[in-house]
Chains A and B, each alone.
Chain A
Amino acid sequence: MALLAATTTTSSVAVLAAAVFLASAVEMVEALTIVLAVGVTRGWRTALEGVAAALAALAVLVAVFGPALVHWVPLAVLRLVVGFLLLVFGLQWLRKAVLRAAGVKARHDEDAIYSEQVAELTEGAPVAGGRDATGFVVAFKGVFLEGLEVVVIVLTLGSASHRLGLAAIAAAAAVLVVVVAGLLVHRQLSGVPENAMKMGVGLMLVSFGTFWVGEGVHVDWPGSDLAVPVLVATYGLVAWVLTAALRRAAARAAGHPAPAGAGGRGA
């Protein structure tokens, strides 16, 4: 019995850490593309100032809402609200990943986004010696908006499971990995299998969301926490079937056979 309890706790902790790490990595890859475009076209000082300002704003949000969520909101209410947020967020991620894996929606192309950003930023040259407001705002917005998703995921997953520290460490590790990779390759990370990662994150967010809204309305989950990996597997199967069905429908409409496999391969 103790072994089963330990196994279920370990599995849900692993799913939690993986979800936060993958979500943070995907968002940071997208932010890195924007920062690189600003750095190359408008100067690294402007880009890094934008990044620093965005990180400071995100840190304020975490400092204000993190302790407030953990200490003041009752766990049952927290899990219901947080579970609903995660469920909606996860459904959005999963929907997008399935549509991209099936070829219905264009994949997220870091190379194309980078070229587009560079072209836009090159048009208006920065004022010599003065502050470059355009570069600053683009870098700030890129890091803040991508980072905000990370903050929401870290705060919701971390606070509802009472593992805010673990969620923060997983997010920080992902940021570190992406930044080091970016420094090593000196370009945007277009080889990252972004869609497969988004599919994985979507599956985990939907699973945690389902589990916690269920807890909030007093659903009796068989196996307690062990329901989370079962939900991940169930939703994974559904995502695979949906992707395959959409591919087959698209191939039928185009008049040729569907390609094999339905996994969310990278962009």
Chain B
Amino acid sequence: MPEPPSPLLRRLVDGRWLAAIGRFWWAFLVGDTPDLVIGAAVALGVVAFVCSQPGSRREAAVLLPVLVIAVLGQSVWRAARRRTP
């Protein structure tokens, strides 16, 4: 009769450790500002699309910082509105 797996192995297999690692990295990288991550991803997508159009790569050099500023501005403004009574 095979021996039952150790508690450590069981926890690894049932994914609880993986979930904990995932939660740690989510909190570390995203934390309480998912709007910044989503905003940056959208900005990157838009600029990638613009760069795929012929002759638009120089314009993208202006568009990307403008989009980043918009992402930062909305996040700061929303946080200030939430905190100000």
Contact = CB atoms under 8 A, between A and B. Distances in A.
Interface string A66-108: 0000000000000000001101110110110011001011000
Interface in B31-58: 31, 33, 36-37, 39-41, 44, 47-48, 51, 57-58
Interface string A226-259: 0100010011001000100010011001000000
Interface stretch (A38-46, A119-127, A158-166, A209-217): A209-217
Contacts of B73: 238, 242
Interface residues of B, number: 31
Interface stretch (B2-10, B11-19, B75-83): B75-83
Contacts of A227: 61
A18 interface: no
B76 to A, nearest CB: 5
A218 interface: yes
Contacts of B64: 210, 213-214, 219
A231 B69 CA distance: 11
Contacts of B36: 88, 91-92, 95
Contacts of B48: 217
Interface residues of A, number: 35
Nearest to A239: B72
B61 A221 contact: yes
B57 A98 contact: no
Contacts of A148: 28
Nearest to B73: A242
Contact of A95 (B28, B33, B65): B33
Contact of B33 (A92, A210, A214): A92
Contacts of B29: 85, 88-89
Contact of B57 (A210, A213, A219): A219
A25 interface: no
A20 B76 CA distance: 24
Contacts of B31: 92
A220 B75 CA distance: 28
Contact of B37 (A88, A206, A210, A221): A88
B80 to A, nearest CB: 5
Most buried by A among B28, B29, B69, B71: B69
A222 interface: yes
A240 to B, nearest CB: 12
Nearest to B75: A95
